[in-house]
Amino acid sequence: MTELRKLYPAYDAYKTGYLDTGDGHQIYWELCGNPKGKPAVFIHGGPGGEIAHYHRQLFNPEHYHVMLFDQRGCGRSKPHASLENNTTWHLVDDIERLRTLMGVDNWLVFGGSWGSTLSLAYAQKHPHAVSELVLRGIFLLRPQELQWYYQEGASRFFPEKWERILSILSEEECADVISAYQKRLTSSDPVVQLEAAQLWSTWEGETITLLPSEHADSFAEEQFALAIARIENHYFIHNGFMDETQQLLDHIDAIRHIPAVIIHGRYDMACQVQNAWDLAKAWPEAELHIIEGAGHSFDEPGILHQLIKATDKFVGK
C-alpha cells in the first residue's frame, strides 16, 4: 500500500510586505522557498479566508518560489472585513499585480474551494501568466451550488447545525437565508454583526470535514468570523460578480491548454463532487482525482496526498 504524502516540514517566509491597490486596500503578501525555484502562487479559500503558515508546506521549499497573500478585507490585509472595492475582478487584478511584483513571467496557480473559483477566473483572464493549475474542492459559483449549501441540501445532513443558522431568523426570512444574513452582517450594530458572523462561520467550520475537526472552533474567533462571513455573503449576494451563471465552465476553452490537476473529496458537503465532475467533463485534458473517504478540507489525508503529488509532479520531481 502506498504511503500517503504529508506536508513538507515547516519553513518561514523570507520576505513580507503590503501591496497598495490604490483604491483603499493594503494586501498582505509573503514570499517563501527558493528564490531561484519554480514560481507559484497560493490562493486561499473563502471568500474572506486567510493564509496560514502550513499552506507554505504544500510546496517543496527547495524547488518552489511561492507567493502567498491575504485577499482584500481578510487575514492581515487592511482594512479588515471591508466590502468596498471587493469583487472577484478586483482580486484577479491584485493577483496580476503580485505576479509583477514577484518579477516572474508565469507561475503555477494553486487554489482550493473559493480559491479554485478565483484561480479559474484569473487563468481565464490571464492565460499567458499561468503555467499549471492545481485545483481542489471545486466551487464554480453557480446558483445551484449556493442553494445547496445555504438553503436546501447540506442542511439535511446537518439538521442540528443548520437549526443554529435559522435560530436568529424569522420564518419568512428562512426562505432566503443568504439575503436574511446580509441584513445582519451589514448592520450598523456590531453586536448584531458578530452574532450573525459567528453563526455563519461556524456552520462552515463544522461541515467542511468528513469527520468532526478540532479546528472547527477557530471559525468562531471574532476577527476571522467577521471577515469570512461578511465577505462570503457579499460575494454570494452578487453571484460572485460573474456576468453569466456558468461563466467559468463556458469559458474553459481559454485555458484548456494549461496542464491542470483537479482534486475533490467524494463526500464534500460544502462543494459537491458534481462540481469537479462538471469541470472535468468540460475540460477532459485536466487530470481528475475523486478522493474516497474525504470531505472538503485540504488536509484530509487522501486530498493532501494528491495535492503534494501534484506540486511535486509540476516541479519535475
Q: Catalytic amino acids? A: 113, 268, 296
d(CA 291, CA 301): 9
Q: For residue 255, what are the β-bridge partners?
A: none
Strand 64-69 to strand 26-33: parallel, antiparallel, or no bridges (unpaired)?
antiparallel
Q: Kindly state the cell numbers that stand for 262.
A: 483537479
d(CA 194, CA 103): 40
Residue 53 contacts residue 32 (beta carbons within 8 Å): no
How many other C-beta atoms lie within 10 A of the C-beta of residue 229? Answer: 28
d(CA 317, CA 313): 6
107 exposure class (CB count in 10 Å sphere: 0-12, 13-18, 19+): buried
Helices and strands in the chain, H and E counts: 10, 8
d(CA 304, CA 308): 6
Q: Does residue 25 sit in helix, strand or coil? A: coil
Q: Kindly state the cell numbers that stand for 9.
A: 516540514
Residue 144 contacts residue 249 (beta carbons within 8 Å): no
DSSP state of 78: B
Closest CA relative to residue 139, chosen from 219, 38, 57, 49? 49
Mark 301-314 as b/e (b = at least 16 C-beta within 10 Å). Answer: ebbbbbbbbbbbeb
